[in-house]
Amino acid sequence: MKRVKAIYPGSFDPPTNGHLDLIERGSKLFDELVVAILRNPEKDPLFSISDRRKMLEQMTQDFDNVAVDTFDGLMVEYAVRSEATAVLRGIRAISDYEYELQMALMNRKLQPGLETVFMMPAEKYSYLSSRLVREIAQLGGSIDCLVPELVAQKLREKMDPAHKFAAAEESEIPKKSRKRKR
């Protein structure tokens, strides 16, 4: 029987619960799914490629048929090199549709054998985007229900590096010797 390998390309800066929702749906539909992070030298991302890769690897460790990779250049060329026949993209609202349709049709023009499959994340994520998560985190708002805990932790460290050291110090002190402040 024919096996279908799909790639799920994107910036994932940072990965959100919406991305995870789509990965879970995609993992049920395709035999293999590769989350492919674009290495874009022109963008000034919040998280390095290696941070984003680590976060996505941890987020997807329970899915046997999901892998994480990075790519640069044309997405369709990466898809052909990876022997993928489908591209997964999420559509949250009508506003996404125009851009996604244009990109899907251009990709089809470049590589007719590659099929774009659109999936909708759960409604509760329809207003969620990496850009808004970055903005909320930068302005000190709570991002706890918007991203997985490991991403929230990374965002907190990014916004307040002292947080990282405070958390590390805290975990190094044995509980018994911690003095209680009165």
Q: Which residues bind ligand PNS (CB under 6 A)?
A: 9-11, 38, 74-75, 103, 106-107
Query: One of 53, 92, 134, 154 is an active-site residue; which one?
Result: 92
Measured distance CA(130)–CA(123) in Å, rounded: 16
Peptide bond connecting 14 to the previous residue in cis, omega within 30 degrees of 0: yes
Rounded Cα distance between 59 and 16, Å, is 10
Nearest approach, Cβ of residue 54 and ligand PNS (Å): 18
Nearest distance from residue 71's CB to ligand PNS, in Å? Answer: 8
Q: What is the DSSP string of 31-86?
A: SEEEEEEE--TTS--SS-HHHHHHHHHHHTTT-TTEEEEEE-S-HHHHHHHTT--E
The token pair that represents 123 in the structure block: 């409604």
CB atoms within 10 A of CB 40: 12
Question: What is the closest distance, in whole angstroms, from the C-beta atom of residue 160 to ligand PNS in the complex?
Answer: 26
The CA radius of gyration of the chain, in Å to the nearest whole number, is 19
State yes or no: is 43 an active-site residue.
yes
Q: Which of 89, 130, 134, 154 is catalytic?
A: 130
The answer to whether 163 is a known catalytic residue is no
Query: Cβ closer to ligand PNS: 24 or 163?
Result: 24
Cβ–Cβ contacts within 10 Å for residue 42, how many?
4
What is the smallest separation between the CB atom of 165 and ligand PNS, expressed in angstroms? 32
The nearer residue to ligand PNS, 73 or 161, going by C-beta atoms, is 73
Active-site entry in 43, 81, 124, 131? 43
Of residues 101 and 173, the one with the C-beta less far from ligand PNS: 101
Known catalytic residue at 28? no
Per the annotation, the verdict on 82 as an active-site residue is no
Which residues does the annotation mark as catalytic? 19, 43, 92, 130
